[in-house]
Structure 1
């Protein structure tokens, strides 16, 4: 059973990293589930303080990721359509061209969304940049936290398995 829990925990941590690039899977929260699962094995001592702190970090990052694109959008004078366009572009770009598509798709989607509101490419560019910066910033933060959780996973498994 311990090996099963360790493997399931690893799968969740990896899914969390993948989820960092997708608005469908909440990256850090999914990675946290991996940390939570391994605490039910007899190999890892149950540490409620560790789990609460990492959970609060995961939820905070989830909330921050929702707010950052809106801040970027408003700071640069964008519309809701620009934010929707950036999110759709992010998804399409990610599936078509991976991380490069994430960046390009997000930007092109934001411009497209803003263009439907502003009817001017020049007026659409500034808010699209703000939305793009917000989405990319949120993605980077989610990726870093999910990667940190994976590192914590390996640390916990390694130190408790080989000590």
Structure 2
């Protein structure tokens, strides 16, 4: 049973790494579930400090994930139309049959949103779209770093208790 839980936990950690770039998946949250599953095995004793601190970091990152792209758009002179465009562009970009659509989508979405807001000011729209893109990249990078840290923590814990986990 421990091996099945270990495999599920590993899949969650990998899913979290993918989710750090794909906006449909909440990367740090999925990685945290992978860490939590690891402690459901009989071989690994519960460490509430690690789980609690990781949960706090996950919650903070989840909130920042919505704030950072919006702040990037606002910093570069964008409006709420650009923010909505960014979010819609993220979703469309995932399903678009374009390479790197999840990167292109937020930029194009913010640009379209800003052009809907003020179709005469192309320079402001382009600047706001660039700010949205920078915010999206910053948010994705932060999520990726956290997920890599959770992956490292996962590997370290499994390494510590490998003889107990793989003894059956």
Normalization by structure 1: what TM-score?
0.91
The answer for the alignment partner of 1:43 in structure 2 is: 43
Distance 2:16 2:64 in 1: 16
Per-residue deviation, 1:162: 4.0
1:112-148 residue CA offsets vs partner (Å, 9 max, x unmatched): 1111101032221111111111111111111111122
Equivalent pairs counted in the alignment come to 162
- Alpha-carbon distance between aligned partners in 2 of 1:48 and 1:88, rounded to the nearest angstrom: 38
- Residue pair 1:28, 1:142 contacting (<8 A) in 2 also: yes
Residue matched to 2:94:
94
1:1-163 matches, within 5 Å, as 1-95=1-95, 96-97=97-98, 100-120=100-120, 121-162=122-163
CA distances 1:49-80 after superposition (whole Å, capped 9, x unpaired): 11101111111111111111121122122112
Segment drifting more, 12-21 vs 50-59: 12-21
TM-score of the pair, normalised by structure 2: 0.88
More helix by share: 1
Structure 2: gaps spanning 5 or more residues: none
- Per-residue CA deviation, residues 83-123 of structure 1 (Å, 9 max, x unaligned), is 1222222233334345x322222211111111110103222
